[in-house]
Amino acid sequence: MPINTLFLDAGGVIVFPNWRRVSDALARHGVSVDPRALAAADPHVKHQLDIGATSHLTDRQRGWLYFDLILRHAGVELSDLTDAALAELHAYHMTSNLWEYLPADVPPALDALRALGLRLVVVSNANGKLRELLERLGLTGCFDVVLDSADEGVEKPDPRLFRIALERSGASAETTVHVGDLYHVDVIGARAAGLGAVLFDAADLYQGYDCPRVRSLGELVQGLKEGGFDERSRS
């Protein structure tokens, strides 16, 4: 059946950590690191957390470990100084959401998905500030429904979050595909709810996995134009 609804993860697909803000916070505490090194570490650390022994942790639990691993991967030694900087960043995240970097290719890609006649729904493990973030970035009008796990009291990979999204958007699982950047959170969760799934794998780290992958939203748009992702996105 043709796809008419697209569920999209927010962090890692639409928005990304503001690594400049992270670098500046570290600098205020006497720790120097190039934001590009932090950004380069991001996909590798997410992959490590996704497929490793920590895949069973909640998003909140992974969040603390995530930044420690980012710093280590970027060659930064953990210390009281890094702890202080991360505490400052955590406080900012809880009020404003640190995943505030919007790549230039995202708005036109969302417009292109809209032009295909797709219903767009955000289904994200977030911190209760996602709607405010999307409004701040001028993206609110791009989506029909936005689900923030903190507001719903359930997070991916629990299929209940996807089922809530289906009910709220009026979508059918048979004609809906979810796009997210974590295999065990997004692909497994979506499939458990009867949806198709596409893995957003910008760094090409999931070769050989049993799901279609895209490295950009532009690639997703092209695949949908060619009629892909409806049958082969299912387990």
Tens of pLDDT, residues 43-96: 999 999 998 755 455 555 555 689 999 999 999 999 999 999 999 999 999 999
Domain membership of residue 111 (yes or no) is: yes
pTM recorded for the entire structure: 0.92
Same domain, yes or no: 88 and 115 = no
Of the three residues 96, 114, 142, the one that is the final residue of a domain is 96
Count of structural domains, the chain = 2
Same domain, yes or no: 159 and 52 = no
Instruction: Reduce the secondary structure of the chain to three states and give it as a string.
Output: CCCCEEEECCECCCEECCHHHHHHHHHHCCCCCCHHHHHHHHHHHHHHHHHCCCCCCCHHHHHHHHHHHHHHHCCCCCCHHHHHHHHHHHHHHHHHCCCCECCCCHHHHHHHHHHCCCEEEEEECCCCCHHHHHHHCCCHHHCCEEEEHHHHCCCCCCHHHHHHHHHHHCCCHHHEEEEECCHHHHHHHHHHCCCEEEEECCCCCCCCCCCCEECCHHHHHHHHHCCCCCCCCCC
Comparing 9-13, 14-18, 168-172, 225-229, which segment has the lowest mean pLDDT? 225-229
Same domain, yes or no: 110 and 85 = no
What residues make up the domain containing 51? 19-96
